[in-house]
Amino acid sequence: MCFDSDLKLKAGHPGIPGNSSFKYKFKLFEMKNAKHFVFLTVLAVTILSFNACKKEAVIPALTTDDVSGITLVSATAGGNITSDGDSDVTARGVCWNTMQNPDLNSSKTSDGTGSGSFISEITGLTSGTKYYIRAYATNSAGTGYGNEIEFTTNPVLPATLTTSPVSKVTLNTAVSGGRITSSGGGEITEKGVCWSLNQNPTIDDSRTVDGTGASNFGSNLSGLDPGTTYYLRAYATNSAGTSYGEQISFSTDTDISPAIFNPDLTYGTVTDIDGNTYKTIQIGTQVWMAGNLKTTRYKDEEDIPLVTGNLDWSNLTTHGFSWYDDSPQFYKDVYGALYNWYAVTSGKLCPEGWHVFTETELGTLILFLGNGTDIGSLMKETGTSHWELPNPSAANESGWTGLPGGRRNGEGAFTSNGFVGYWWTATEFSSTEAVDAMLYYDFTFLDSYNFSKTNGMSVRCVKD
């Protein structure tokens, strides 16, 4: 018992008569009902003792099971409720987070009710990530947690892929790609091909970027050197790193194919002081050269300085010229030379009876061709023998036969061969800049811009 109870009845107590007759009758009554009295007394004392000794509920006690079955995005865990805290367990499971001490506000499972052991299947995890997990159990007093355990999901494996054969090899371009056979369980965030003069190229070398995802892909290589052997591999990157396909070697062409003129038009010819012959084409009232100038002398037979070093070129403030990549054996016949604007203003660059066109004369050509957004298509050489893909709608209907000769910038670097054709006009914009015309590999229009006079660009002549 939790306490003592002393039940006594005394004569003279208020409400109890004191005469002997009553005492006798009461005693008889007491004796007759003694058994009932004892029973009721014991019952009352027992109830009072039970209520006084009854314990209040506390939160459950439990442990967290070790994590097993870990994959990229899931795991198996559970717990063991060793005490229900004197109250029924109404919810149980495990909760987890990337931060310590996860609780019911974190991600969690719901794994039934009651005490004892339970198993929890954890899903929706992120690969290669550390998590903290605790088992939990809830009763009327609240929620108790087991010990905290940390685990890390499996990392994504590198992708598996193959390298596509190299095709459509030209002087400075080629086509390849790759086939991804497995993403490694993670998202492919970048893919393409990489290449180098050395074996086993990586993404730290030259590379293309051809989108994301585990689909197959094609790659267009550009900026290659003529007559050069390269090593190439497809690559794919996911959160586990970058993997590579097998290595392939190929060599670029050593000769540039001739320019493609419009076979439906009639061309004339003109010859410069060096004996180079160019096709000519009449467009409206104008007669244009249909090829880029490549003379090394002015028409008065004075030599035009050939400048090769980048520093020498960048410091040049007088006339000069160069060949793209300093390689006349590859670029001269088709693309011609790259002249700075000082050579253009000499007035002696074109053959006798011809001159470098002005911005006004360019405007006359534009008006004749319709002054639309497709003028570039009417002026560019067809196909992709010299232009990079896509060269949209190029039809060369005018016969002008624009080629992507690129340029040499003010620092002496060569750029954009195959992508852009730049042609100086004889029109000055400022003391340091002059006007040029541009055609692009991926647009149909003719553009015009102001460039530093130190740039080296192609030159077209128009008849006086």
Encode the chain (464 residues) as per-residue pLDDT tens digits: 443 333 343 434 444 444 444 444 445 445 455 555 555 555 555 555 555 455 799 999 999 999 999 988 999 999 999 999 999 999 999 999 999 999 999 999 999 999 999 999 999 999 889 999 999 999 999 999 999 999 999 888 888 999 999 998 988 889 999 999 999 888 899 999 999 999 999 999 999 999 999 999 999 998 888 889 999 999 999 988 899 999 999 999 888 889 999 999 999 999 999 999 999 999 999 999 999 999 999 999 999 999 999 999 999 999 999 999 999 988 999 999 999 999 999 999 999 999 999 999 999 999 999 999 999 999 999 999 899 889 999 999 999 999 999 999 999 999 999 999 999 999 999 999 999 999 999 999 999 999 999 999 999 999 99
Are residues 435 and 296 part of one domain? yes
Residue 222 lies in a domain: yes
Residue that has been written with the tokens 């007559």 in this structure: 227
Answer whether 0.85 is exceeded by the pTM. no
Residue 260, amino acid:
I
Predicted confidence at residue 1, as pLDDT, reads: 40
Residue 428 lies in a domain: yes
Rounding to the nearest 10 degrees, give the CA dihedral for residues 182, 186, 190, 193: -20
Q: Where are the beta strands (DSSP E) in 225-300?
A: 229-238, 241-244, 248-251, 268-271, 277-283, 286-289
Cα diameter, the chain = 165
Taking the C-alpha atoms of residue 391 and residue 122, their distance in angstroms, rounded to an integer, is 53
Predicted confidence at residue 24, as pLDDT, reads: 43
Residue 402 lies in a domain: yes
Residue 301 lies in a domain: yes
Predicted confidence at residue 225, as pLDDT, reads: 87
Are residues 405 and 375 part of one domain? yes
Residue 76: how many other CB atoms lie within 10 Å: 16
Are residues 305 and 191 part of one domain? no
What does the radius of gyration of the chain's CA atoms come to, in whole angstroms? 46
Are residues 419 and 343 part of one domain? yes
Are residues 231 and 120 part of one domain? no
- CATH number at 201 reads 2.60.40.10
Are residues 347 and 398 part of one domain? yes
Are residues 166 and 143 part of one domain? no
Are residues 398 and 307 part of one domain? yes
Per DSSP, 83 falls in state: E
Are residues 379 and 336 part of one domain? yes
Produce one character per residue of 424-456: b if its CB has 16 or more CB atoms within 10 Å, e if not. bbbbbeeeebbbbbbbbbebbebeeeebebbbb
Domain span at residue 180 reads: 160-251
Predicted confidence at residue 274, as pLDDT, reads: 97
Predicted confidence at residue 14, as pLDDT, reads: 45
Are residues 306 and 368 part of one domain? yes
152, 184, 210 - which closes a domain: 152
Predicted confidence at residue 18, as pLDDT, reads: 47
Classify 168 in phi/psi space as left (phi over 0), alpha (psi -120 to 50) or beta. Answer: left
Of the candidates 356, 361, 168, 334, the residue with the CA atom closest to the CA atom of residue 261:
334
Counted domains in the chain: 3
Residue 254: how many other CB atoms lie within 10 Å: 11
Residue 53 lies in a domain: no
Are residues 143 and 68 part of one domain? yes
Cβ atoms of 155 and 238 within 8 Å: the answer is no
Are residues 194 and 143 part of one domain? no
